[in-house]
Amino acid sequence: MMEDSVTGCDQPDCLTCDEDRQCTSCARAIVHGTRQCVSACPGNYRLVHSDIDGYHGLLCRAGRFLDTADMTTEELVVLVAALVGAAICIGVLIGAFLFLRVRRKMDPLTARIEESGTEMTAASDFERIQFLTRLQALRPETQNFLEMLNDTRKKFHGKSSKGGDSKADSKHRAYRSILRDLSRILTLLNRKEEQIRTVPADWQRLLGWAERLLKRYKRQKISKRSTLRNWCNQYH
C-alpha cells in the first residue's frame, strides 16, 4: 500500500526536489513513476539503487517486463509490433504442422513408390499395420519363397554360364530383378515385427507381386506332383 497520496515536495519524507517541485529522493525509498515516498516497496516492485536520471537513492522499480515507464511511445510501438509478429509466426508454424499431420492421417494409404524400389520410408501407424498384416500372412510360406529363390539362382547361373546375345542379356536383367525382390521378401519374412520400424516405399507392389508369384509357384508344385503320381501309377 502507498503510504501517502502526495507525490510532490510536500511529502514529509521527500528530501530533494527538482525545479518542477517533483520529488527526486526520499528518506527511505521513492517509487519509480509516481515519485511517492514509501517505507517499503509495493507488491510488484523491487528495491534497487537508482540508475535513472531524476531519481536518487533507493528506488522502488517494477520488474523489467513491466517497466515501460521510461520507454518512449515509438519504443512501445516497436515492442508491441515485435511481439505480435512473433506470435503470428509461431501461429503459422503451428498451423502448418497441424495441417500436415491431419493430412497425413487422412491419406495414410497414398503410395510412396521410389524409382529404385528399395528405399525405406516412414509410414503412418495404419499403413504399417496393413503392411505387417499382409507380411504376416506370407510368413508360413517362407520355405516356398526360399525354394523359389534357389530355383531362380540355378536358372540364372545356368544361363549366365552359356553367355548369349542381347536377348539373353534381357533375360539376365529380369532374373536379377526377380532375385533382388525375392531376397527382399525373405529378409522381411525373417525379421521380427518389432524390428521392422520402417516399411519399403514400394511395399504394396512388392507384396502384391510376391502373393501372385506364390500362387503360381504352388500351382506348379501341385501340377508336378500330379504328373509324378500319374507316372508312378502307370509304372505299377
How many domains would you assign to the chain? Answer: 2
Question: Has residue 70 been placed in a domain?
Answer: no
Asked whether residue 47 is domain-assigned, the answer is yes
Domain C-terminal end among 30, 45, 62: 62
What SS3 class is residue 199? strand
| Location of C-alpha cell 487422412 | 106
- Kindly report whether the global pTM for this prediction surpasses the value 0.75: no
* Grid cell in block for residue 128: 504399417
Q: How many CA atoms lie within 13 A of 81 on its CB side?
A: 6
Residues 127 and 207 in one domain: yes
Per-state percent for the chain, helix, strand, coil, to nearest 5: 55, 10, 30
Is 214 exposed, middle or buried, given 0-12, 13-18 or 19+ CB atoms closer than 10 A? middle
Do 53 and 134 fall within a single domain?
Answer: no
Domain edge (last residue) among 44, 62, 80: 62
Same-domain check for residues 126 and 230: yes
Residue type at position 8: G
Q: Do 52 and 129 have their domain in common?
A: no
Mean pLDDT score, 175-189: 91
- The answer to the question of residue 55 being in a domain is yes
Q: Is residue 161 part of a domain?
A: yes
pLDDT of the residue at 227: 66
pLDDT tens digit sequence for 71-130: 556 767 788 888 898 999 999 999 888 888 776 665 443 444 334 344 444 557 788 889
More confident residue, 75 or 203: 203
Q: Is residue 112 part of a domain?
A: no
d(CA 235, CA 216) in angstroms, rounded, equals: 29
Cα→Cα distances 15→5, 23, 163, Å: 17, 8, 110
**What is the predicted pLDDT for the residue at 97?**
86
- Average pLDDT in the chain: 79
The answer to whether residue 49 sits within a structural domain is yes
In a domain, 108, yes or no: no
Give residue 39's domain range.
14-62
pLDDT, position 167 = 58
Mean pLDDT, residues 55-61: 92
CA atoms of 5 and 34, how far apart (whole Å): 10
